[in-house]
Amino acid sequence: MKLRAVNSATLQFRFRSTHANHLRTSPRSTWCVSALVLFFAAISLTPTGFAAQNLVNEALPHPPAPSVTPTILIGFVGGRVRHDDPNHAEVQLAERLHREYPKELEVRVFENRHEEQAYRLILHSLDSDHDGRLSAAEKQRARIILYGHSWGGSAVVTLARALARDRVPVLLTVQIDSVAKIGENDRVLPANVERGVNFYQPDGLIHGASLITAADPSRTQILGNFRFDYHARPVACPGYPWYDYYLYRAHTEIECDPRVWSQVETLIRDEISSPVKNLATTAAPQ
């Protein structure tokens, strides 16, 4: 959000002494001087242009907080992929849903190392009254969906855990062949997550977590750990670097597998269209 500052110019008027002497010698000039004095006095007491607009704006209260917060959809790409690389399914999905739900959805894709940036964006978006803190009501209105591939899957769980410390609920987490980064645990979902799902493949030098669980099964539903095998049914990945496809073939194939992303998209669409629920029972910090 950019703040615009408007500076109003101050007009200064000065009469030369020679003109003043001439005006004092003429009755008509005396009348003109009186009229000019009254005119400029009126200007000085009446705000005009930008100055008047500023006074009006200062008197207006902040717009009321919306009763329903738009769903926030955050995607994380894997490896060293750029957040705007159009060859990757994470980016394609975000762009497609953004076009279809321009008002209902706030969509962003991040590199997996920018978890903190995504965290700050979410808090800012939820702060509807712009007071710099999240009230219980603002937290209850949160509708957050997180998805990511590879290191991006690990970023999903790390971000969900950070939101749990703030008692902010998460509707859905989606991990695609999730690979834990050093110091992170991508296998246990914190209790602020309502539903989580995991898609993985077991082959190759890099392969994802085969099992995710819930820290509190009474609060988090694991929709499933779904295995994909690309030996008998390989997937082409046009636009990907050759070394990704040959060195980490199965790990790359699951990222560009339309079967996987069709299921991911269906799950996300279901959450977007689902009625707003009361999420007051947010999780304790994990």
Mean pLDDT of 229-249: 87
Task: Give dist(CA 12, CA 59) in Å, integer.
Answer: 28
Range of the domain at 217: 71-273
Q: Tell me the pLDDT band of 242, cut-offs 50, 70 and 90.
A: confident
In a domain, 255, yes or no: yes
> Between 68 and 23, whose confidence is greater?
68
Structure tokens of 263?
Answer: 């299921």
One domain, residues 254 and 165: yes
Q: What is the CATH number of the domain that holds 96?
A: 3.40.50
Task: Give dist(CA 151, CA 80) in Å, integer.
Answer: 9
The yes-or-no verdict on residue 143 having pLDDT over 70 is: yes
29 backbone dihedrals φ, ψ, rounded to 5°: -65, -40
Domain boundary, last residue among 28, 59, 90: 59
One domain, residues 32 and 172: no
In a domain, 154, yes or no: yes
One domain, residues 50 and 83: no
Task: Give dist(CA 286, CA 283) in Å, integer.
Answer: 8
The yes-or-no verdict on residue 163 having pLDDT over 80 is: yes
Q: Is residue 76 within 8 Å of 153, Cβ to Cβ?
A: yes
Q: What percent of the chain has pLDDT over 70?
A: 72
Q: Is residue 170 within 8 Å of 146, Cβ to Cβ?
A: yes
Per-residue pLDDT, 1: 39
In a domain, 211, yes or no: yes
Mean pLDDT of 222-227: 98
DSSP letters, 131-192, are SSS--HHHHHT--EEEEEETHHHHHHHHHHHHHHHTT--EEEEEEES--PPTT---SEE-TT
In a domain, 98, yes or no: yes
One domain, residues 79 and 49: no
Calculated CA dihedral for residues 94, 90, 189, 281, nearest 10 degrees: 0
One domain, residues 23 and 86: no
Q: What percent of the chain has pLDDT over 90?
A: 63
Task: Domain count for the chain, please give it.
Answer: 2
One domain, residues 43 and 154: no
One domain, residues 77 and 48: no
User: Over the stretch 164-217, which tens digit does the pLDDT of each residue have?
Assistant: 999 999 999 999 999 999 999 999 999 999 999 999 999 988 999 999 999 999
Residue 51's CB is within 10 A of a number of other CB atoms, namely: 14
User: Over the stretch 31-78, which tens digit does the pLDDT of each residue have?
Assistant: 444 444 444 444 343 333 323 233 233 333 444 444 456 899 999 999
One domain, residues 133 and 251: yes
Q: Tell me the pLDDT band of 275, cut-offs 50, 70 and 90.
A: low
Per-residue pLDDT, 273: 85
In a domain, 52, yes or no: yes
In a domain, 222, yes or no: yes
One domain, residues 200 and 104: yes
Domain boundary, last residue among 26, 59, 92: 59
Locus of tokens 């919306």:
66
In a domain, 128, yes or no: yes
Cβ partners under 8 Å of residue 223, min gap 6: 195, 196, 197, 267
One domain, residues 244 and 220: yes
| pTM metric for this prediction | 0.73
The yes-or-no verdict on residue 226 having pLDDT over 70 is: yes
One domain, residues 122 and 254: yes
Q: Tell me the pLDDT band of 5, cut-offs 50, 70 and 90.
A: very low
Instruction: Give me the chain's average pLDDT, please.
Output: 79
The yes-or-no verdict on residue 119 having pLDDT over 80 is: yes
Exposure class string for 83-118: b at 16+ Cβ within 10 A, else e: beeeebbbbbbbeebeeebeeebbbbbbbbebbeeb
One domain, residues 93 and 187: yes
SS3 at position 239: coil
In a domain, 262, yes or no: yes
